[in-house]
Amino acid sequence: MSVFTEVSRAELEAFLTRYDLGRLLSHEGISGGSENSNFFVSCERGEFVLTLVERGPVDDLPFFIELLEHLHADDLPVPYALSDQQGQALQQLNGRPALLQPRLPGKHVAQPDASHCQAVGQTLARLHNSTEKSGLLRETDRGLPWMQRHLGEQLLHAQQAMLEPLRGVIDSWLQTPPHLPEAVLHADLFRDNVLFDGHHLSGVIDFYNAASGWTLYDVAICVNDWCMDESQRLDSGRTHALLAGYAGIRRFTPVEAEHWADVLRLAALRFWLSRQLAADQHSGQSGVLVKEPEHFLRVLEGHGKVSIGLPLAL
């Protein structure tokens, strides 16, 4: 399912009178997304993406708008909400909050190579450098307390021997958090949220998980999606390339190196839990895309077999 709220040509033409983009040429629903209704919109003065926000942290839309404006001003390849002729970025359409953003060029890469991974590492480091001192803050609703609560409930579903030690890590970090560098994270930088034009990284999209947190955790989320081989073990070439791309722009610290293996596993646990909860909630419903939770159990297993340390400057 990808378009939950339809928008007719007449409704869109009326909406577009708020902007100065010329005549509407065409529009079509985008099938790729899973949370919101998205449309490609072609006008005389450019190509755009219209998003009707269907669920998720709607009250935080002003935060996301400000974050994307900040990243765009820092030359990161991100979409940002266009303001209408009254200076208003956040709109309403067909009963939903709506955003109109420029369409970024490029395509998703399903099978990345080391050079794609290096570019992802570099862009993530630039994103962290940009948000670190921005003053922007947002608390995640998927942090350690959320993991602690749901891991307790979900342990019955899965191999306890593999997951119990992670419970220990969460409990101990809730008591005494490690001193890791923080910034605003993308927090969902999977392959389906990045666009490439050839080997040029042309877009980072879908910031609706963005929140303050440990930058190392964002690196771990990326590695867990971009650097896995077909058995869900770390691919050495791609992992080294992503980490080196990142470290070339933003150095890792010795404390980060010490916590890397646990942070990698926590990042895998977070997505196993969210997929497992979605599967429980939507089981038997048609039209709802539920991603396979077991994938992240295999990623966790893989981390027990292959480990690759963080590169530290000498």
Ligand X SMILES: N[C@@H](CCOP(=O)(O)O)C(=O)O
By the criterion CB under 6 A, which residues form the site for ligand X? 188, 190, 209, 271, 274-275, 291
Check binding of 49 to ligand ADP (CB under 6 A): yes
Bridge partners of residue 270, in order along the sequence = none
Residue closer to ligand X, measured from CB, 117 or 273: 273
* Cβ contacts of 190 within 8 Å, gap of 6 or more: 221, 225, 226
Buried b (16+ CB within 10 A) or exposed e, 22-39: eebeebebeeebebbbbb
Burial 201-217 (b: 16+ CB within 10 A, else e): bebbbbbbbbbbbbbbb
Q: In the complex, which residue's CB is closest to ligand X?
A: 274
Q: What is the largest CA-CA distance in the chain?
A: 62
- Distance in Å, CB of 264 to ligand X, minimum: 16
36 binds ligand ADP (CB under 6 A): yes
Q: Among candidates 314, 25, 297, which has minimal Cα distance to 161?
A: 297
Place of tokens 């955003």: 99
DSSP 8-state assignment for residue 6:
-
Of 5, 18, 29, 34, the one binding ligand ADP by CB under 6 A: 34
Per CB under 6 A, 35 contacts ligand ADP: yes
> Per rule CB under 6 A, is residue 202 in the interface with ligand ADP?
no
Among 22, 32, 46, 145, binds ligand ADP (CB under 6 A): 32
Give the nearest residue (CB) to ligand ADP: 33
Q: Nearest distance from residue 109's CB to ligand ADP, in Å?
A: 12
**Contact in structure between 120 and 248 (CB atoms under 8 Å):** no
Give least dist CB 202 to ligand ADP, A: 9
Q: How far apart are CA 242 and CA 145, in angstroms?
A: 29
Instruction: Out of 79, 112, 121, 213, point to the residue binding ligand ADP (CB under 6 A).
Output: 79
Please report whether residue 248 would count as binding ligand ADP according to CB under 6 A. Answer: no
Which listed range, 100-108, 249-257, 289-297, 304-312, lies at the site for ligand ADP (CB under 6 A)? 100-108
Nearest-approach distance from CB 267 to ligand X, in angstroms:
11
User: How many Cα atoms sit within 13 Å of 125 on the Cβ side?
Assistant: 17
Verify binding: residue 65, ligand ADP, rule CB under 6 A. Answer: no
| Structure token digits, residue 246 | 């990142």
The answer to whether residues 210 and 277 touch, using CB atoms and an 8 Å cutoff, is no
Given the complex with ligand X, which of 27 and 275 has the nearer CB atom? 275
Q: Note whether 38 binds ligand ADP by CB under 6 A.
A: yes
| Phi and psi at residue 264, to the nearest 5° | -60, -45
Min separation Cβ 10 and ligand ADP, Å = 23
Give the interface with ligand ADP as residue ranges (CB under 6 A). Answer: 30, 32-36, 38, 49, 79, 101, 103-104, 192-193, 203, 205-206
